[in-house]
Structure 1
Amino acid sequence: MKPTYILLILALYFIVLMVISLITSDKEEDNENFFKAKRQSPWFVVAFGMIGASLSGVTFISVPGWVEASQFSYMQVVLGYLLGYVIIGTILLPLYYRLNLTSIYTYLEQRFGKYSYKTGASFFILSRVVGSSFRLFLVANVLQTLAFDAMGIPYWLTVTITIILIWLYTFKSGIKTVVWTDTLQTLFMLIALGVTVVTLYNEMNITQGIVAYISDSSLSKTFFFDDINSVDYFWKQFLSGAFIAVVMTGLDQDMMQKNLSCRTLKDSQKNMFWFTIILTVVNLAFMCLGVLLTLYARQHGIDAHKDELFPILAKNYLGPIVFLSFIIGLIAAAYSSADSALTSLTTSFSVDILEIDKKHPTQDQVRIRKRVHILFSLLLIFVIISFKYLIKDESVIAKLFVFTGYTYGPLLGMYSFGLFTSLMTKDKLIPYIAVCSPVLAYFISLYTNRWFGFDFGFFVLILNGTLTFLGLLIFSDFKSGKKYESVLPGRK
């Protein structure tokens, strides 16, 4: 496929998103629409759209490429997600709806105080900026290789145009538009997945059923109980998956903002239930795709591995239909995570850091929010371009989850302490605890691996959260007798 055709596909895709933006936008631009869609989003639309935002380009490319080295070990993490989503649906969502939150980090102010509130929001902003940049970096690299290098378009311009397009269709109605565009983008990703699997099945002349074929492969080994020191050890992966789900969905303004746009708590919980089922099946399907891609490459002597596996096979070996669906799915993956990330970053910085609803008159709030939206667009461009020179070899998904362990760990510790204890702690010390915990977790992880051969892997998230929890406990006010009245269901 000629690079000009890829550019045409991108242009047509963008036009479709702009049409959706125009249809979903109100004439009056207000922050209630941008932040919460006035809580009018249908739960089933949110549930389906969240699949694309959760998967993104990382799953679309990295998960299939990961199978060759790690087999189905990632499925242990996905199974852990199930437990994490139960916690979100039964504990966190009722809390957020009961407090009628726009930003979920407002809870930290009510629970601990101003310093905790600002710390939680700041860690989210850091996490989301870097995490979203990881995802977009991966997709931008592939598009650059497939099309824009041949057209003489530099990498920095590819990234800049991508972010500008996202800004254009989200700047007016924010989350209200994102809920609907994510639904379309999820559909395109799943179509690309299905087309590729069917094509590979036919190309490889598989005589038995596809399930039996994949099950018989050594690449489909899922459970690893042999070596507790291994990063693939089941309980490490499972528990890490549960906590990753809690922090990357339940404690993440990006994902929760969509849930909070549903009409009622019951609708939001239905959304979470169906989202959990679909996400598990889709992740399994992407790992099955990874088996087929890897075996196809081996059969034909193709030297393609990790994040290059899917793009190279789609472009050069599997025909124009697969390549077309791959390009559309890749573009969908890029936009489905980036648009909601840009919206949530704008929301969190406006509400949590600038406190525009408290410190600025109503007539100025929309203007300030628009400036913040532009600011984060420019920041994402800068960070993604810088990654071009910082990331060299590993699969992006591995780097993403390791980074998550360090940045979301303090949020995990703060929320756990706030929800499951009634103790008061020294609010002014929380920023220092939140910074020290990831640093201490890093050195513990480094030296336990060096001295004992124990690799924390994704499990560093739990270590980090535990250190934050212990820090809050050490500086708790035991003498005054002050207690916090729980807002959890059934607790006083």
Structure 2
Amino acid sequence: MVEMKFSLVDYVIFALLLLLSTGIGLFYAFSGGRQRTTQEFLLADRSMSCLPVALSLLATFQSAVAILGVPAEIYSGGTQYWFLGTSYVLGLLIPAHIFIPVFYRLRLTSAYQYLELRFGKTVKICGTVTFIFQMVIYMGVVLYAPALALNAVTGFDLWGAVMAIGLVCTIYTTLGGLKAVIWTDVFQTVVMFVGQLAVIVVGAHQAGGMAAVWQKAQEGGRISGLDLNPDPFERHTFWTLGLGGVFMMLALYGVNQAQVQRYLSSRTEKEAIMSCYMVFPCQQIVLTLGCLMGLVMFARYGEDSPLKNGYVKSADQMVLYFVMDVLKDLPGLPGLFVACLFSGALSTISSAFNSLATVTLEDLIKPYFPDMPESRATLLSKGLALGYGLVCLGMAYIASLMGSVLQAALSIFGMVGGPLLGVFCLGMFFPWANSTGALTGLLAGLVMAFWIGIGSIVSRMGASAPLPHLNTTAVPNTGNMTTVAMTTLITAITSRPTGLQRFYSLSYMWYSAHNSTTVVVVGLIVSLLTGPTKEKDVTPGTVFPVLGTLLFFLPERYREKLCCVTPLDYRPKEPGAQQRLMPHKESNGSTFPTEEGKGEDEESESPPVVNRYIHIVHETSL
């Protein structure tokens, strides 16, 4: 067994990561507007360019769990997982051209404000509470899991690492707001790339070069072909990864508050869309680096893994063992990889703090205190970020007591992503969906998600046959928190189950698709039974007219009944003139568009509202 220990240089590099992250927060706390308004603290004053936003989008859910999990998955199961990259195309194009325009043009701060505009306050509150529940559980796991792996392999103080990461995150998020979070994400993304690349280069060199690595992986059966098996109960196939992965990407990059908040911080809608495009090659690089590290691990150990020899207790500790083994004679590089590992944790947790503070303030507090002064609202948002930081430390302690229940906590997180995606899709794509259908559909989706998730855990625990070693502990990642969480639910099994046991063995990659579809189907049925929403009652700008395009072959009278006639496109009268239509409530409860800056009593210059879910004009600048 390799002797694992940190040198002084390793500790210095790790400490520099924490100091620089804190320094970025302090810089933005005492520069610019000094975070004196909620717009600056929560949305970076809508002033960010596409490159830092893109790197922040990437870093937000490229967690430490993923850095540990993907190489372990490749080592154990082969390169089939790499085909997940095919899902990134639609998984990023759809948010770029559907979700971002809708959210950006409505001038939202919280994604769940959309649910209020479309379905009312009850649905918004349910969505917000669901998101808070999801994120609070995940924060503690993301903080505790890498600290536990580091402690097990290197003897690095467990709670010292937890406290350092938790407190540093809390400090720079509370002081510097979203702008500090985004720029620390940029710094941490660079550290992640450099750390992983250093391990791959050194490891491949020691194995005899990448050609030798590839040959050993081929001889060991780790280079997978294209598996076109359509069976949704197979853990990883091309269709499972390529199609199921699209829904998982949408749950993250389409409707998750942490990502939506970054889109909304962009200077223009065009830059928000460009940031989504720029994530695509970055995601491919991240996935490729994880796969290459897994292959280099296999080239070093073959079938004689550290886990098999008892050097580590679980598969997710193998990566750290491998890093310490490969870099043991190169002081500073182990510290660089640990900095890479904890950069993933820092970026994920700080994003969680900021997004949780935003939805709590905007969705749960401000509606009941509409006259709250800006200074007090800003102070409250900082207090909320600080409070969630302390909650994160508490959740890390609870995670330490969970033991085997830790996987259940990750699973609970993953069960929520699909239903939330479903309720947003129900609102954007189906104009006749009503609030009763949305609420019923969301509850049905959550029930279905927990039924399958908990059922799969119970059935696996009760199985008498042992599971084959295909990485039951490591958590591979798509860059999507839902994927990260649900990977712990489903593992390959030796026997073919029947009945409900078969149902519980559904691949984790189909969970978001299955649960979001449940929300849409139940929501549409209930809406039709309880009285579909009429065209005149749909809030302008909340429906994307996809049905009008897909059902072009129907006569117009039928499309009108389905609320999918071609919407109007209001444009400024003069070139370059800025105009933004803002929804506001009339005394009768209906919602109408007004130009930003006009009072509700002022007459709008817009033409009469013929179709209530109009295209709001495209702005090139704010």
**TM-score, normalising length from structure 2?**
0.71
Partner of 2:221: 218
Partner of 2:263: 259
Give the C-alpha shift of residue 195 in structure 1. 0.8
Give the C-alpha shift of residue 56 in structure 1. 1.7
Range with greater deviation from structure 2 (100-109 or 7-16): 7-16
SS of equivalent to 1:199: helix
Of 355, 358, 365, 1:347 maps to 358
For the residues of structure 2 that align with 1:192 and 1:283, how far apart are their CA atoms?
14
For the residues of structure 2 that align with 1:449 and 1:121, how far apart are their CA atoms?
32
Instruction: Tell me, yes or no, if structure 1 residue 248 matches structure 2 residue 252.
Output: yes
SS of equivalent to 1:218: coil
Give the C-alpha shift of residue 266 in structure 1. 0.7
SS of equivalent to 1:2: coil
Give the C-alpha shift of residue 267 in structure 1. 0.7
Post-superposition Cα deviations, 1:432-454, rounded to whole Å, max 9, x if no partner, equal 54234222344357485514685
Judging changes above 3 Å, is the alpha-carbon distance between structure 1 residues 7 and 349 closer, same or farther for their aligned structure 2 residues? farther
Give the C-alpha shift of residue 82 in structure 1. 2.1
Give the C-alpha shift of residue 324 in structure 1. 2.5
Over the matched positions of the two proteins, sequence identity in percent amounts to 22
For the residues of structure 2 that align with 1:373 and 1:453, how far apart are their CA atoms?
38
Partner of 2:119: 112
Higher relative contact order (CA 8 A, sep 6+): 1
Is the CA contact 2:57–2:259 (under 8 Å) kept in the aligned structure 1?
yes
Is the CA contact 1:89–1:272 (under 8 Å) kept in the aligned structure 2?
yes
Range with greater deviation from structure 2 (129-138 or 185-194): 129-138
Code of the residue aligned with 2:402 in structure 1: it is L
Instruction: Tell me, yes or no, if structure 1 residue 331 matches structure 2 residue 335.
Output: no
Is the CA contact 1:79–1:280 (under 8 Å) kept in the aligned structure 2?
no
Of 12, 15, 22, 1:18 maps to 22
Judging changes above 3 Å, is the alpha-carbon distance between structure 1 residues 482 and 227 closer, same or farther for their aligned structure 2 residues? closer
Instruction: Tell me, yes or no, if structure 1 residue 175 matches structure 2 residue 178.
Output: yes
Instruction: Tell me, yes or no, if structure 1 residue 386 matches structure 2 residue 393.
Output: no
Code of the residue aligned with 1:271 in structure 2: it is S
Give the C-alpha shift of residue 110 in structure 1. 0.4
Is the CA contact 1:413–1:465 (under 8 Å) kept in the aligned structure 2?
yes
Instruction: Tell me, yes or no, if structure 1 residue 407 matches structure 2 residue 416.
Output: yes
Give the C-alpha shift of residue 464 in structure 1. 1.2
Of 420, 431, 434, 1:425 maps to 434
Partner of 2:199: 196
Partner of 1:470: 521
Give the C-alpha shift of residue 338 in structure 1. 1.3
Partner of 2:511: 460
Of 318, 324, 328, 1:309 maps to 318
Partner of 1:35: 42
Partner of 1:232: 236
Is the CA contact 1:425–1:476 (under 8 Å) kept in the aligned structure 2?
yes
For the residues of structure 2 that align with 1:448 and 1:380, how far apart are their CA atoms?
40
Partner of 2:534: 482
Counting only pairs closer than 5 Å after superposition, residues 285-324 of structure 1 correspond to structure 2 as: 285-298=289-302, 302=306, 303=309, 306-319=315-328, 320-321=330-331, 322-324=333-335
For the residues of structure 2 that align with 1:417 and 1:218, how far apart are their CA atoms?
44
Judging changes above 3 Å, is the alpha-carbon distance between structure 1 residues 211 and 156 closer, same or farther for their aligned structure 2 residues? closer
Partner of 2:74: 67
Judging changes above 3 Å, is the alpha-carbon distance between structure 1 residues 120 and 3 closer, same or farther for their aligned structure 2 residues? farther
For the residues of structure 2 that align with 1:458 and 1:404, how far apart are their CA atoms?
14
> Which of the two has greater helix per residue?
1
Partner of 1:434: 442
For the residues of structure 2 that align with 1:306 and 1:399, how far apart are their CA atoms?
18
**TM-score, normalising length from structure 1?**
0.89
Judging changes above 3 Å, is the alpha-carbon distance between structure 1 residues 405 and 333 closer, same or farther for their aligned structure 2 residues? closer
Counting only pairs closer than 5 Å after superposition, residues 80-159 of structure 1 correspond to structure 2 as: 80-146=87-153, 149=155, 153=157, 155-156=158-159, 158-159=161-162
Post-superposition Cα deviations, 1:145-188, rounded to whole Å, max 9, x if no partner, equal 355x56xx5x4554234211111111122111111111110111
Range with greater deviation from structure 2 (85-94 or 130-139): 130-139
Structure 1 gap segments, 5+ residues each:
none
Is the CA contact 2:63–2:142 (under 8 Å) kept in the aligned structure 1?
yes
Aligned-residue Cα RMSD (Å) equals: 2.9
Give the C-alpha shift of residue 211 in structure 1. 6.0
Is the CA contact 2:192–2:343 (under 8 Å) kept in the aligned structure 1?
yes
